[in-house]
C-alpha cells in the first residue's frame, strides 16, 4: 500500500491550496494564483483534504489496495479544482471518490456490522449527495448541509468505533441512530425546502451534538492528564462550536453569504472538524503513515490558537462587523493549522530518530 504516501502528499497539497484560497477570501494581499483557488476553497478543504484523510484511514483499516482509489480520486479532484477551478472533471473525481468510499464501507460492513460503521457510511453518502448536487449545478452554499453530514457522520461514527464513547444503556445506541437519521432527513429537507429544512437541519445538528456531549467520556477524561486530557479538551471545544452552528441554522434559517454564513460554516469546519483532526492525529496518523506521533504539551498551542482566533473571528469579526479584526483572526486560523502541522512533523521526526 505504498501508494498511500503519494495520496497523502496530494492531501497536503490540497490543504495548502485551500489555505491559500482562504487568504484570498480574507482579502490578504498575497499574489493571485493562475487558477480561481478562492472559488473552490470549501470543497477542496472538506473533500480534498479532510475527505482524503478519512478515505486513506478507511483504506488502511480495510487492508485492500483497491480501497486507495477513493482517496486517490479525491486528492486528484482537489488538485484539478485548484488548478482549473470548478471544472466538471474535478467535481466528478470528488464524486467518484465518495462512491469508492461507500464501497470501502460496504466491504467493512461485510466483516462486522455496527452502528459506528453505519454512521460513517451515512457520512460518505453525505459526501456523495453534496458532489452530485454540485455536478447538477447547485452552488456550494446550497450543498453545505450535505457537507456537514459527511464530517459529522464520519467523526461521530469514529468516536463510537474508537471506543471513546461510553454507552450507558442499550437505548443509547438506538438514540444515536435516531439523531443521525434525523440529520440525513433534515439535509434532504434543506435541499428540497431550504427555509424550513435548514431550520430543521439546525435542530437535528443540535440533537447529534447533545448525544455526543451526553455520552462521550471526554467529560471525565478532561480531568485526566497527557493525551487523554488533550483529546477531551479538543472534543468538548469542538462540540461547543457544533452547537453554535446548530443554533445559527435553527434560529435564522438558510444563508448563502455574509457574516452569518462565515460564522456558521467556520464553526463547523474549523471549530469542530479541525479540532477533531488536531486531537485525533496522535492516535490515527501513526497507523496511516507508519510513523510515530507522540503526544507533547506543545500541541495545546495550535489547538488554543485555533479556538481563540475563531472566537474572535465570530464575535468581533462576524457579529460586531469589525472587518480588520475579522481578517486578522482569519489569518490566525490559518496560522493555527500551519503551527499544528509544524509541531506534528517535528514531534514525529524526533520520535522516529530515537527509534532508529
The DSSP secondary structure of 277-301, one letter per residue, reads: HHHHHHHHHHHHHSS-----GGGHH
Q: Tell me the C-alpha distance between 217 and 209, whole Å.
A: 14
pLDDT tens-digit map of 191-222: 999 999 999 999 999 999 999 998 888 888 89
pLDDT tens-digit map of 129-158: 999 999 999 999 999 999 999 999 999 998
Q: What is the pLDDT of residue 96?
A: 98
Nearest to 147 by CA among 264, 42, 236: 42
- Give me the half-sphere count of Cα atoms (radius 13 Å) on the Cβ side of residue 278: 35
Q: What is the pLDDT of residue 35?
A: 78
Nearest to 163 by CA among 121, 216, 219, 208: 216
- Residues with Cβ within 8 Å of residue 137, at least 6 apart in sequence: none
Distances (CA, A) of 240 to 138, 318, 340: 30, 18, 21
| Residue 161 clears pLDDT 90, i.e. is over it | no
- Give me the half-sphere count of Cα atoms (radius 13 Å) on the Cβ side of residue 111: 10
Nearest to 44 by CA among 134, 123, 149: 134
Task: Work out the burial of residue 32: count CB atoms within 10 Å of its CB; fewer than 13 is exposed, 13-18 middle, 19 or more buried.
Answer: exposed
Q: Tell me the C-alpha distance between 248 and 170, whole Å.
A: 32
Q: Tell me the C-alpha distance between 268 and 50, whole Å.
A: 13
Match 514525529 to its residue by C-alpha cell: 348
Q: What is the pLDDT of residue 90?
A: 97
> pTM of the predicted model, to two decimals?
0.96
Match 510515530 to its residue by C-alpha cell: 292
8-state DSSP, 318: I
Q: Which residue has the higher pLDDT, 330 or 353?
A: 330
Domain edges within the chain: 1-111
Q: What is the pLDDT of residue 166?
A: 58
Contact predicate 70/59, CB 8 Å:
yes
Contact predicate 233/303, CB 8 Å:
yes
Match 467523526 to its residue by C-alpha cell: 155
pLDDT tens-digit map of 300-335: 999 999 999 999 999 999 999 999 999 999 999 999
- Sign of the dihedral through C-alpha 121, 125, 131, 134: negative
Helical segments of the chain, H only: 4-26, 41-43, 52-62, 69-84, 88-111, 115-135, 140-161, 170-192, 194-215, 218-221, 226-252, 258-266, 275-289, 300-312, 323-355
Q: What is the pLDDT of residue 354?
A: 80
287 pLDDT tier (thresholds 50, 70, 90): confident
Q: What is the pLDDT of residue 32?
A: 83
Angle at 191 between CA 185 and CA 193, to 5 degrees: 90
Amino acid at each position: 500500500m505504498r501508494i498511500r504516501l503519494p495520496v497523502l502528499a496530494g492531501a497536503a497539497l490540497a490543504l495548502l491550496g485551500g489555505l491559500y484560497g482562504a487568504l484570498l477570501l480574507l482579502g490578504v494581499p498575497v499574489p493571485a494564483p493562475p487558477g480561481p483557488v478562492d472559488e473552490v476553497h470549501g470543497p477542496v478543504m472538506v473533500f480534498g483534504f479532510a475527505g482524503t484523510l478519512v478515505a486513506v484511514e478507511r483504506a488502511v483499516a480495510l487492508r485492500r489496495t483497491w480501497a486507495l482509489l477513493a482517496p486517490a480520486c479525491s486528492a486528484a479532484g482537489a488538485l484539478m479544482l485548484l488548478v482549473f477551478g470548478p471544472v466538471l472533471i474535478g467535481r466528478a473525481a470528488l464524486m467518484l471518490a465518495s462512491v469508492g468510499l461507500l464501497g470501502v464501507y460496504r466491504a467493512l460492513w461485510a466483516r462486522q456490522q455496527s452502528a459506528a460503521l453505519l454512521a460513517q457510511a451515512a457520512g460518505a453518502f453525505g459526501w456523495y449527495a453534496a458532489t452530485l448536487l454540485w455536478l447538477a449545478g447547485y452552488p456550494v452554499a446550497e450543498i453545505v448541509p450535505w457537507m456537514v453530514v459527511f464530517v459529522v457522520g464520519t467523526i461521530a461514527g469514529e468516536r463510537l468505533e474508537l471506543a471513546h464513547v461510553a454507552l450507558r444503556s442499550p437505548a443509547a445506541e438506538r438514540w444515536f441512530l435516531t439523531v443521525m437519521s434525523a440529520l440525513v432527513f433534515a439535509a434532504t429537507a434543506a435541499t428540497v425546502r431550504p427555509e424550513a429544512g435548514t431550520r430543521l437541519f439546525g435542530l437535528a445538528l443540535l440533537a447529534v451534538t447533545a448525544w455526543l456531549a451526553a455520552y462521550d467520556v471526554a467529560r471525565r477524561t478532561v480531568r485526566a492528564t497527557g493525551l487523554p486530557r488533550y483529546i477531551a479538551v479538543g472534543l468538548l471545544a469542538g462540540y461547543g462550536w457544533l452547537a453554535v452552528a446548530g443554533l445559527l441554522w435553527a434560529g435564522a434559517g438558510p444563508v448563502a453569504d455574509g457574516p452569518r454564513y462565515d460564522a456558521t460554516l467556520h464553526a463547523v469546519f474549523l471549530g469542530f472538524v479541525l479540532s477533531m483532526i488536531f486531537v485525533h492525529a496522535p492516535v490515527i496518523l501513526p497507523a496511516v503513515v507508519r510513523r510515530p506521533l507522540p503526544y507533547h504539551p506543545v500541541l495545546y498551542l495550535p489547538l488554543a490558537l485555533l479556538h481563540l482566533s475563531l472566537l474572535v473571528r465570530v464575535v468581533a469579526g462576524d457579529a460586531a462587523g469589525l472587518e480588520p479584526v475579522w481578517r486578522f483572526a482569519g489569518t490566525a486560523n490559518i496560522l493555527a493549522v500551519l503551527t499544528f502541522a509544524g509541531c506534528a512533523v517535528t514531534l514525529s521526526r524526533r520520535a522516529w530518530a530515537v527509534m532508529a
